[in-house]
Structure 1
Amino acid sequence: MHVFVVHNRYASAQPSGENNVVDQEVALLRGAGHQVESFERRSDDIAARSLLGKAAVALTVPWNPAVRAELAARLRTERPDVVHVHNVFPLLSPAVLAACADAGVPAVATLHNYTQICPPGTLQRGGRPCTQCVGAAPLPAVRHGCYRDSRLATVPLAVSLSVNRRRWWSGVERFFCISAAQRDVLVRAGMPPERLAVKHNFVPDPDDRRSGAGEHLLYLGRLAEAKGVRLLMAAWEEIAAGGGVGVPLVVAGTGPLEGEVAAWAAGRDDVRYVGLYDQDECRKAIARSVAVVAPSTWLEAFGLVVVEAMAAGVPAVAAGHGAFVELVEDGVTGLLHRPGDPASLAACLRRITAESARNREMGRAARRRYEQDFSPDVGLKRLVDGYRTAIAGRSGGGDSPSPSRERSTGSSRGNPGERDGGS
C-alpha cells in the first residue's frame, strides 16, 4: 500500500506525544513493507519568519491555498492509495482535504484531541470541563480567550472550526478516534458515527521493563494546568505532611508551569525535577517507577504515558475520567482517583506504594493488557484495516488498492496484521 502522511509537527521545545505517534506509525508501516511518503510543515520554522510573515500565519490557519496546490500536485504525480491526516495547525490548514479531493485520493484522519468541536481541542476552561462550543458557534471560546488565554490567538481557530466543520465531515472517509471515550464525546457532538472508528495508539515494545519494586513515582509529561500538575503538587504536600511514602516523586517535562514546578521542587529531598527527558531517558525512568502518575484535569482523549507504563510492566495512578477509565482497570492494572481531588490522588499514591506485592501483580496485569490491546501487531492491523475501509468507501467497494495503482507505485502490500499509531 502507498500512504501519504500529512502532519504539522509541533514545536520541538516541548514534548509532543503526537509527533512521536506519527513517527512510530510511519516506521511501523515501512517496516511492514508499505511505501510511506510525508507531507509536513514544522512549527519550529515560524520563528525564522519576519514579523510580517509571523502575522500572516494567522490568516492561513482556516485555509492555506498554497498548501492545497502543492499537496494536490504531489498527489497527482505520486498517486498514493490513501492520505493519512494528523495535525494541520497552524501551517497546513484543512485545505489539505481539498487537495485530496482535487487528486481523487481518499483521506483518513486521526483525531488526537477535540479540535473538531472545541477551538483549543481540550474541552476545558479554567481548569474545568467545558462544552459551551460543542454543537454551536465557537463564540464562547473567543470571548474567554481559550487558546493561550488570548482572544486574538483564539480567533483563527474559531474561524477554522466554523467554516471547515462540514468539510471535515464530508472530506474524510474514516476518522480514527484514539479511545472509545473520545468517540462517544464526538458522536454526542454530532459527528457522523459511521465514520468514527476506535484505533488506540500503539507503543513499541520497550527494551527496558521493570524488574524490581521501583525507585520512584513518576510524572512524565507537559507541565500545564490541564495535565493536573498543580493537583499533583497539592496531593504531594498532603503526603509529605503525613510522613511521605518512602520513595521520591520525579517530575519530568517542560511547559508553562516549569518555573513554578522547579521552585516547588528546589530544596526538597522528596521531589526531583529533572527537566525534559529524551526518549531513551523516558523509557528508563518509566522502568524504574513504582507507578506512573497521570492526574489530568481535562478529559484526555488517550493517555500515552499510561500505555508506555503498561509496556514496561508498571501500573498507573490516573484520573478517573476520559480515556483513563478504559485504559486503567481500577485495582487491576492501576488505580483511578477522583478527578480534581488532591486527597483522593494522595490516597491512591499511598496505596500503590504501600502494597508492594499487589503493585507487582498490577504491573504484570498491565503488561498483559499492553500485549493484548496496544502492541505494534495489534496497532498495525487496525491501521491497515482502516485504510482499506477508506479506500473501499471511496471506490464504492472492494477491500484493497487497485492493481493499476499498485503497479504504478511499485509498492508491495505488507502484512495487514502488524501495528498502529495515534497520540
Structure 2
Amino acid sequence: MHVLVVHNRYASAQPSGENRVVDEEVGLLRAAGHRVEVFERRSDDIAGRSLLGKVAVPLLVPWNPAVRTELAARLRADRPDVVHVHNVFPLLSPAVLAACADAGVPVVATLHNYTQVCPPGTLHRDGRPCGECVGSAVPLPAVRHGCYRNSRLATVPLAVGLAVNRRRWWSGVDRFLCISAAQRDVLVRSGMPADRLVVKHNFVPEPGVRRTNAGEHLLFLGRLAEPKGVRLLMDAWDAVAADGGVGVPLVLAGAGPLEPEVTAWAAGRDDVRYAGLYDPAACREAVAKAVAVVAPSLSRETFGLVVAEAMAAGVPAVAAGHGAFVELVEDGVTGLLHRPGEAGSLVECLRRITAGPERNRAMGRAARSRYEQGFGPDVGLARLLEEYRSAIADRSGGGNSAPPVGNDNAGSRRGTRAGGDGGQEK
C-alpha cells in the first residue's frame, strides 16, 4: 500500500508522545513492506522565520493556502492510496483536507486529543475538567478564558479555525481514528459523525527490556504540567513521606512549566529524585526498574502512552480513574485506579502498590499479557491496515476495489472498530 502521512511536528524542546506515535507507525508500516512518505511541517522552524513571518503564523492556523497548493500538486504526482492526517497545527492547517479533496484521495485522520471540540485540545482549565466548548459551533468560552497558553489573543486563531473548519473536517475525512473509547464517546456526544469515528488504540513497540525483580522506584514519566497531576503527586508524596514512606523513592522524569517547582521540591530529599529529561533508552530502563508508573492526570487522557509502555515492560500502573486509563488499567489486576484529583486516594494506591511484592509481580504479569493482546505491534499494524482498507473501500463505493494490504484477517476485527456510542503545545 502507498500511504502519505501528513503531520506538523511538535517543537523538540519537550518530548512529544504524538511525534513518537507518528514515527513509530511510519516505521511499522515500512517494516511490513508498505510504501510510506511524509508531508510535514516543523514547529521548530518558526524560530528561524523573519519577524513578519512569525507574526503571520497565527493567520495560517485556520487556513494555509500555500499548503493546499503544495500538497495537491504532490498528491496528483504521487497518487497515494490513502492520506493519513495527524496534527495540522500551526503550519499545515485544515487546508490539507481541501488538497485531498482536490485530488480525490481517501483520508484517515488520527485524533490524538480533543481539538475537534476544544481549541487547546485538553478539556481542562484552571486545574479541573472543562467541557464548555463541547458541542458548541463557536467556542467563545475558550477565548473568554484564554485557554491556550493563558492568552485570549493566542486562543483566537484556534477558536476561529475550529469554528470555520468544523464541517470541513466532518465531511472531508473518511475515517477518524480515536485512540480510546473514552475519547470517542466525548466526540460522539459533541455531534461528530459516529459512523466515521472508530477506536484504534496506539500501539507500543517491544521495549527490549522487562522488569525482572520487585522494582527500585515509583516513576512519574511525562510533561511537568498541572493537567498531568504533578502537584497532586507532590502533595500525595509529602503525605506518604510524613507517614514513614513506602520503602522506595519517587523518580520524576520530564520537562515542562512546573520544572522549577519540581526541582525545588525534590532538592535535598532522599525519597525523591528529579531526573530531568531521559533519552528513549533511559526511559525504557527507568520503566523496567519501576515498582509502578504513576499517572495521576487531572485531565481526561485520550490514551496514556506511559501506561501502555509500562504494561509492555511488565510493570503495573497507578493511574487516575477517568478517561482512557479505565480502558488500559483493570483496577486490582493490571494496576490500581485512584479517584481523580484526590490526594488521599492516590496516597492509598501508592501504599497498596508497594505493600505486597508478590501481588505487584502478579499485576505486572497481567499487565504484560494485556499489552500482548491489545497494544503490541502486530495488533497495531492489523488495525491500521484495516481502517486504511475501509476508508479506501468507502471512497470507491465498494470493498472489491480496495488494494490488498497483506494479512486479510484484519477484516475479522471489524466488530472492534467502534468501542460503543456514547494538547496543543508547540
TM-score, normalised by the number of residues in structure 1: 0.95
Match of 1:277 in 2: 278
Match of 1:363 in 2: 364
Alpha-carbon displacement from aligned partner over 1:171-198 (angstroms, at most 9, x marks no partner): 0000000000100110011100000010
Matches within 5 A, 1:343-354: 343-354=344-355
Matches within 5 A, 1:282-301: 282-301=283-302
Secondary structure of the corresponding residue to residue 335 of structure 1:
strand
Alpha-carbon displacement from aligned partner over 1:13-61 (angstroms, at most 9, x marks no partner): 1010000000000000001111000000000111111221111000000
1:191 aligns with 2:189: no
For residues 373 and 270 of structure 1, the distance between their equivalents in structure 2, rounded to whole angstroms, comes to: 35
> Number of residue pairs matched?
410
For residues 16 and 407 of structure 2, the distance between their equivalents in structure 1, rounded to whole angstroms, comes to: 29
Name the aligned partner's letter for residue 268 of structure 1: R
Q: Unaligned regions of 5+ residues in structure 1, if any? A: 403-411
Alpha-carbon displacement from aligned partner over 1:273-296 (angstroms, at most 9, x marks no partner): 011111111000000000000000
Match of 2:419 in 1: none
1:13 aligns with 2:13: yes
For residues 127 and 156 of structure 1, the distance between their equivalents in structure 2, rounded to whole angstroms, comes to: 23
Match of 1:321 in 2: 322
Indicate the RMSD between aligned Cα atoms, in angstroms: 1.2
Secondary structure of the corresponding residue to residue 399 of structure 2:
coil
Matches within 5 A, 1:197-212: 197-212=198-213
Percent of aligned pairs with the same amino acid: 79
Name the aligned partner's letter for residue 65 of structure 2: P
1:156 aligns with 2:157: yes
For residues 228 and 329 of structure 1, the distance between their equivalents in structure 2, rounded to whole angstroms, comes to: 20
Name the aligned partner's letter for residue 5 of structure 2: V
Alpha-carbon displacement from aligned partner over 1:100-142 (angstroms, at most 9, x marks no partner): 0001101000000000000000111111111111111210000
Name the aligned partner's letter for residue 23 of structure 2: D
1:56 aligns with 2:45: no
Q: CA deviation at 1:416?
A: 5.8
Alpha-carbon displacement from aligned partner over 1:224-266 (angstroms, at most 9, x marks no partner): 0000000000000000100101000000000011111011111
Check the 8 A contact 1:377/1:417 in 2, yes or no: no
Secondary structure of the corresponding residue to residue 297 of structure 1:
coil
Q: Unaligned regions of 5+ residues in structure 2, if any? A: 411-422
Check the 8 A contact 1:388/1:400 in 2, yes or no: no
For residues 416 and 118 of structure 1, the distance between their equivalents in structure 2, rounded to whole angstroms, comes to: 37
Match of 2:141 in 1: 140
Match of 1:248 in 2: 249
Match of 2:100 in 1: 100
Matches within 5 A, 1:38-77: 38-77=38-77
Q: CA deviation at 1:399?
A: 4.9
Match of 2:129 in 1: 129
For residues 54 and 280 of structure 2, the distance between their equivalents in structure 1, rounded to whole angstroms, comes to: 31
- Closer, same or farther: CA 223–401 of 1 in aligned 2, 3 Å: same
| Structure 1 moving runs of 4+ over 6 Å | none
Secondary structure of the corresponding residue to residue 243 of structure 1:
coil
Check the 8 A contact 1:378/1:417 in 2, yes or no: no
Check the 8 A contact 2:312/2:371 in 1, yes or no: yes
Name the aligned partner's letter for residue 335 of structure 1: L
For residues 399 and 66 of structure 1, the distance between their equivalents in structure 2, rounded to whole angstroms, comes to: 36
For residues 156 and 61 of structure 2, the distance between their equivalents in structure 1, rounded to whole angstroms, comes to: 10
Alpha-carbon displacement from aligned partner over 1:263-322 (angstroms, at most 9, x marks no partner): 111111111101111111100000000000000000000000000000000000000000
For residues 348 and 56 of structure 2, the distance between their equivalents in structure 1, rounded to whole angstroms, comes to: 50
Q: CA deviation at 1:401?
A: 3.5
For residues 315 and 243 of structure 1, the distance between their equivalents in structure 2, rounded to whole angstroms, comes to: 23
Match of 1:166 in 2: 167
Secondary structure of the corresponding residue to residue 239 of structure 1:
helix
Match of 1:380 in 2: 381
Secondary structure of the corresponding residue to residue 91 of structure 1:
coil
Match of 1:176 in 2: 177
TM-score, normalised by the number of residues in structure 2: 0.95
Check the 8 A contact 1:67/1:92 in 2, yes or no: yes
